Structure 1
Amino acid sequence: MKRSLLCIALSLMFMGCSGDDEIRNNPYLPNLNFTLRLDLSLPEYNNLNFPGNSYTTYNYGINGIVVYNLNNDQYMAFELTDPNHVIQECSWLEVTRTEAKCSCNDGNKYTIITGQRLEGQGEYSLKPYRVRRAGNVLEITN
């Protein structure tokens, strides 16, 4: 009896897993391998020592990366390329405070706090990158 219940539970668990990788993988943005280290003791990154501030670099990612300090324990990092159309000259995002707006005049606007789309069209949110804090260093990777 226990064995039957275990088999049923495992079967339900496996059937509950969806194979929707196509939905999660954005067809417009390639996966790049990189590691970016930001030493928060350096003046260039000082803003990231305070919640609500961000840092933008155009030297990593496709069109750049924005890093946002949520609460000194959580940092968010997102790709600065509009995830809802093919990469083109105008698909870079311009960051103003906590919003990133596409320069293609398509009305797409995103929040750099969660990556969600605020305005415009499309099914994808901003491409997130992993952020790990080790002491005074933030490590951002894909």
Structure 2
Amino acid sequence: MKKFWLLTLFLSILFSCSENSKSNNNPYIPNYTINERLDTNLPLYNNLKYASNPVMITTAGAKGLIVMKVGEGSYTAFDAACPNQALNSCVAMTIDGINAVCSCDKSTYSLYTGLGDKEYPMKQYKTEISGSVVRVYN
């Protein structure tokens, strides 16, 4: 029984320390500095008040940002560049419901997780909420 608990403890520590390094070490997408503040009271970002209503921000990132509310007080933000294509070969991904679709290979990625069926997931950025403002940064 003691070995079981030690193994469980070891595995939980191992997995809690791991991170999806492929997401932000993508060879196709450069590391741009991101520091965007999106006020959900403004009409342009009003959809961010509601879950599963992604918004495209074209003024930041490699090809823009896709931001979506995924739950109460929780948001995801991803670069709109196709994660498995050379940066100059595709236009920005398009939003299709709660997914993003690459214009080159038509691969679909979840806007909840950034995962698709290719090697690299979407490049993810951090988010934080302060009142009605969603900050996207790295």
The alignment's TM-score, normalised by the length of structure 2, stands at 0.79
1:89 is displaced (CA, Å) by 3.9
Once residues 80 and 45 of structure 1 are traced to their aligned partners in structure 2, the CA distance between those partners, rounded to angstroms, is 17
Instruction: Give, in angstroms, the shift of residue 109 of structure 1.
Output: 1.3
Counterpart of 2:120 in structure 1 is: 124
> Equivalent residue for 2:54?
54
Report if the CA contact (8 A) 1:55-1:66 is conserved.
Answer: yes
The 5 Å alignment of 1:92-131 reads: 92-104=92-104, 106-117=105-116, 119=117, 122-131=118-127
TM-score (normalizing by structure 1): 0.77
Q: What is the aligned residue count?
A: 123
**Which residue identity is paired with 2:70?**
L
Provide the identity percentage.
34
CA, structure 1 residues 23+49, in 2 after alignment: closer, same or farther (shift >3 Å)? closer
CA shift for structure 1 position 126: 0.5
Amino acid at match of 2:92: W
Query: Relative to 1, partners in 2 of residues 1:132 and 1:103: Cα closer, same or farther, differing over 3 Å?
Result: same
Asked if the contact 2:24/2:124 (under 8 Å) is kept, the reply is no
Aligned residue identity for 2:119? E
Relative to structure 1, is the Cα distance of residues 21 and 41 closer, same or farther in structure 2, using a 3 angstrom cutoff?
A: closer
- Matched letter for residue 84 of structure 1: N
DSSP 3-state at the match of 1:88: helix
Q: 2 CA distance for matches of 1:96 and 1:102?
A: 10
Which structure would you say has the larger Rg?
Answer: 1
Structure 1 contact 82–92 (Cα < 8 Å) conserved? yes
| Runs (4+) off by over 2 Å | 20-24
Aligned partner of residue 106 in structure 2, secondary structure: coil
Matched, 1:136 2:132: yes
Aligned residue for 1:46, secondary structure, equals helix
Partners of 1:22 and 1:97 lie apart in 2 by 25
Unaligned segments of structure 1, at least 5 residues:
1-12
Instruction: Name the CA shift for 1:21/1:73 in 2 (closer, same or farther; >3 Å).
Output: closer
Cα deviation for residue 97 of structure 1 reads 1.0
State the AA in 2 paired with 1:109. T
Structure number with higher relative contact order (C-alpha < 8 Å, ≥ 6 residues apart): 2
Kindly state the Cα deviation for residue 24 of structure 1 after the two structures are TM-superposed.
5.9
Quote the Cα distance in structure 2 between the aligned partners of 1:72 and 1:137: 14
